[in-house]
Amino acid sequence: MNVIVNKFKEMTYKQIFLYIIIGLCFAASVFFVNHNYSFYERPIAKVIKTTLEDKTEMIDIHDNKDYLFNQLIIAELKNGEEKGRLIHLTNEYSSSGAYDQEYHVGDELFVSIDTNKEENTDLTGTIKDVKRDKHVVIIAWIFIFTLLMVGKKQGLFSIISLAANAVLLSYALDVYLSTSNMSLVVICSVSTILFTVISLLLVNGFNEKTYAAIVATLLGTFISLLITYLVMWLTSENGLRYEEMQFLTHPYRMVFMAGLIVGSLGAVMDVAITMSSSIFGLYEKNNNIPVKALKTSGMEIGKDIMGTMTNILFFAYISGSIPLLILYFKNASALGFTLSMNLSLELARALAGGIGIVLTIPIGLYTSIFFINRKRAKL
């Protein structure tokens, strides 16, 4: 208790004011999502009773077993002309739960109400979706609080940069969809420059360390993109399967290349700022440290983070394919066919990002030394 009191006494009025604002925003957002039924046009019903009607075992030709359940639900309508009335719903769901789910008392559902019913009869309808805004807000606030507790001021700027990048990406995609004569690669390249500059300047401020990280990030990203493009051109893209993009009405190669840029940017940026922070940290501890010592230490740091960063990228891409891999294997597809169909693009993305990470280590090292030498020359 005394620790909390002492911490509170150490706070400035500016910090207290900021925490009060964040607390009010949290309370207001939670209150809003719990009382915002009237803001929705679609009818919302809150489940008050569920009954399991029957259970059926399903076995397909590959001996895969699943269970199908039939659930009767009574729910109370929370908005619209029928607000306050009860509605009877039927829910069919499977134990695998790929496209359906079991509902419980307290769940809130978007429903459609059946029409042309006789008077004085129970309302019936169909479940359309689940109202999840309460859970999304809580998860978002846990993310924000975690960032603020760990990162404090940098955490706040990280949230701002994340929001700015999300808005920027949405705007860039809108520009691409509304202008048929602009390449998505060009749009994403411009966006990448803005993502990098906004994120690093907001989180690390205006200083040589940030400038070195920005230069290293952009060089690492675009050189890896160029190498990937050359490899694809020389190999005529043999082995790449674009089936997952067949529904697109836009050039799928350009969409794939644009995804490579944005996908590898985060990992490359992480390596770049790690390298510049480490090199500048060594210089700030000893302003007379020789360049040779900086190079040796920088390369050792780069080797330490290289393995973990490439693994992060590999697992991030591969994890998205796990559901499809399981689906193919459960349907007795051959191993080679399954991996070729589902992992060719993911592996290409992981390799392109890995090249960017490895290249960024020496680029970040020498860029940081360049800015340090400039700083020394001014002293």
Domain boundaries, the chain: 39-130, 183-378
Of 53-67, 184-198, 218-232, 351-365, where does mean pLDDT reach its minimum?
A: 53-67
- pLDDT grade for 28, boundaries at 50, 70 and 90: very high
CATH architecture of 183-378: Up-down Bundle (1.20)
Long-range contacts of 226-233 (CB under 8 A, 24+ apart): 227/352, 227/355, 228/257, 228/260, 228/348, 228/351, 228/352, 228/355, 229/257
Q: What is the pLDDT of residue 7?
A: 66
Tell me what the mean pLDDT of segment 130-145 comes to: 92
pLDDT in tens, 265-298: 888 988 999 999 999 998 988 888 888 888 888 8
Segment 177-184 mean pLDDT: 79
From residue 212, give the alpha-carbon distance in Å to each of 4, 62, 273, 274: 39, 57, 8, 11
pLDDT averaged over every residue in the chain: 85
- Please write the tens of the pLDDT for every residue from 70-81: 999 999 999 988
Look at residue 340 and tell me whether its pLDDT is greater than 80.
no
- The answer to whether residue 46 scores a pLDDT higher than 90 is yes
For residue 318, the surrounding DSSP H or E stretch is helix 291-319
Return the bridge partners of 126, or none.
112
- Provide the pairing of β-strand 108-113 with 44-59: antiparallel
CA distance 272 to 294: 15
Between residues 334 and 135, the one the model is more confident about: 135
Res 318: pLDDT: 80
pLDDT tier at 336, thresholds 50, 70, 90: confident
Write down the pLDDT at residue 246: 67
Q: What is the pLDDT of residue 5?
A: 67
pLDDT of residue 18: 82
> Which pLDDT score, from 0 to 100, does residue 197 have?
92
